[in-house]
Amino acid sequence: MNYFVYIKDILGLKTNAENFSWCYVCVAPKTTEEEYNDCMLKINLSVRKTADVFDESIKFENLDRYNHFYAELYGQKIYYERNFFINAKYRYSIEIVGNEVNVVVDNNYFKYVRYRFMNVHSLGYILTDVISGLLLMNGYATLHCSSVSIGDKALVIFAPPSTGKTLTALKLCEYTGAKYISEDIAITDGDVIYSVPWTSTFRCYNHCKETKSDRFLEALRKKVPLFQLVPPKKRKSIHAYINEDFLVDSAEISDAILLGKGVYGVIRTDKAFLENILNLNKYELNYHRSPAMLVINYFNPDFSMDQMYEAEKLILGKLVRNYPSYRVNAQNALDYSKLIIEHIVEKA
C-alpha cells in the first residue's frame, strides 16, 4: 500500500496505485502510514479489475438510478457503470463517511479516462471536486493561486491561467529569498495560507531546467491544441527548482495580489477583488457542476453545493476584508515580481 500527504495534517491518500495525478498533486513523494493517519481528510483509493469493483451483493434493480449512477436514497455511497467497448464497462464507486472518502475504480477507467470528455470525467477531476467540497465543509477554501512567504507573512498571488503566477512565485523566491508555499493551488481559512506544494506547472517556463525536447513539446502544445492532451514524459517535483529548506507548510497572509495584463503599475483594489478571485476559482474548480457531486447531492441533500459556495464566499470575503489587496499590471510576466518587490514588499 502507498501513502501520500498532499497538505500536511489536512489531506492524505492511501492507494494500491503507484501514483495519482489531480488538482492537488502531480508529483509527490511517498510518505508513512502515520503521516497519512494524521490528516483531517483521508482518501482510500483502490484500483481493481472491473469484475471486482462492485460487491457481488449489489443489485442495481434495488437501487435508485440517476443516469449512469446508482445509489440508495440517503445512502453514503454512489455507483457508476457505463458501457466502454462491446461488453467492457467503466465502473467506480465513491463512499463518503464524514471526512473519509473510499473510492474503488476499475483499471480501464483509472488508466484511460484522463480528461473531461462530454459527460465522462477523469477520477482526478472527480476527486478534486469532492475534496474541494469537503474542505469547504471543514472551513477551508481551495485557491487557484501561487504563494510565497517573506519573513513570517505570505503573499497570495491570483491571476487568470497563463498570466504568470508560477513564474512570479519562483522569481520572488530567487530575488528576495522568499520561501515557497505553492505555485498553482493552495488552501486557506481566510487568515492562513496552507501549502499544496506538489503541483507541477513549471514546464510552462523555458527558464526552468528543461531539455530541448521539453521545450519542443511545450511549443507544440501552444501552437497545436491537440498536443495539450499529451502530458510531459516525466513531471518534475518542486525539489528540482526549490531547495527543501525554502519550503514552508503554512504562513499568515499579509497581502493578496491579482496579476493582470493592463497598464503598467500597482494599485489598491476595491470590492471587485472578491468577485475576481471567486471567478478564477470557478474557472479552475468545478464542484458546482460536477456530475458526481450533483448525484451525491441528489441522494444526500445535506451534501449541498450551495452551502459549499456560501462557505467559499465567507472564507474569501474574510481574506479580502482583513488583508490589503492589489492589482499588479504589466505586459511582460517577468515584470510582476519586480513591481511586487518595489511597491509591496519594500514598503511593508
Interval 208-227 mean pLDDT: 50
Q: Which long-range contacts (CB under 8 A, 24 or more apart) does 277-283 make?
A: 277/143, 277/145, 277/158, 277/316, 277/320, 278/312, 278/313, 278/316, 280/144, 280/158, 280/159, 280/160, 281/141, 281/142, 281/143, 281/144, 281/312, 281/316, 283/144, 283/160, 283/161
Give me the amino acid identity at 81: E
Interval 325-347 mean pLDDT: 94
At 305-320, the pLDDT tens digits run: 999 999 999 999 999 9
β 41-48/11-15 pair status? parallel
At 240-263, the pLDDT tens digits run: 767 777 789 999 999 999 999 989
Residue bearing the bigger pLDDT, 87 or 170 = 170
What per-residue confidence (pLDDT) applies to 162?
85
63's grid cell:
437501487
Among candidate residues 38, 47, 50, the one with its CA nearest the CA of residue 12: 38
At 49-107, the pLDDT tens digits run: 999 999 888 888 899 999 999 999 888 899 999 987 777 889 999 999 999 999 999 99
CB 45 within 8 A of CB 35: no
CB 277 within 8 A of CB 258: yes
d(CA 8, CA 181): 12
What per-residue confidence (pLDDT) applies to 26?
81
Q: What distances in angstroms separate CA 336 from CA 134, 195, 212, 238, one per listed residue?
A: 34, 21, 27, 21
CB 84 within 8 A of CB 90: yes
pLDDT at residue 229 is higher than 50: no
Helices 305-322 and 291-299: crossing angle, nearest 10°? 120
The pLDDT-based confidence of 206 (bands split at 50, 70, 90) is very low
The pLDDT-based confidence of 109 (bands split at 50, 70, 90) is very high
What per-residue confidence (pLDDT) applies to 85?
73
pLDDT at residue 23 is higher than 70: yes
The pLDDT-based confidence of 221 (bands split at 50, 70, 90) is very low
Interval 221-226 mean pLDDT: 49
What per-residue confidence (pLDDT) applies to 163?
92
What per-residue confidence (pLDDT) applies to 14?
97
Among candidate residues 1, 313, 344, 333, the one with its CA nearest the CA of residue 164: 333
What per-residue confidence (pLDDT) applies to 152?
84
Highest mean pLDDT: which of 26-30, 40-44, 286-290?
40-44
Enumerate domains of the chain plus CATH numbers. Answer: 2-139 (no CATH), 142-345 (3.90.228)
Interval 3-32 mean pLDDT: 92
Interval 329-348 mean pLDDT: 92
Q: How big is the CA angle at 98 (ends 96 and 99), to the nearest 5 degrees?
A: 85
Q: Which residues of 238-269 are buried (b: 16+ CB within 10 A; e: fewer)?
A: beebbeeeebbebbebbbbbbbeeeeeebeeb
Interval 149-153 mean pLDDT: 90
Helices 305-322 and 123-137: crossing angle, nearest 10°? 70
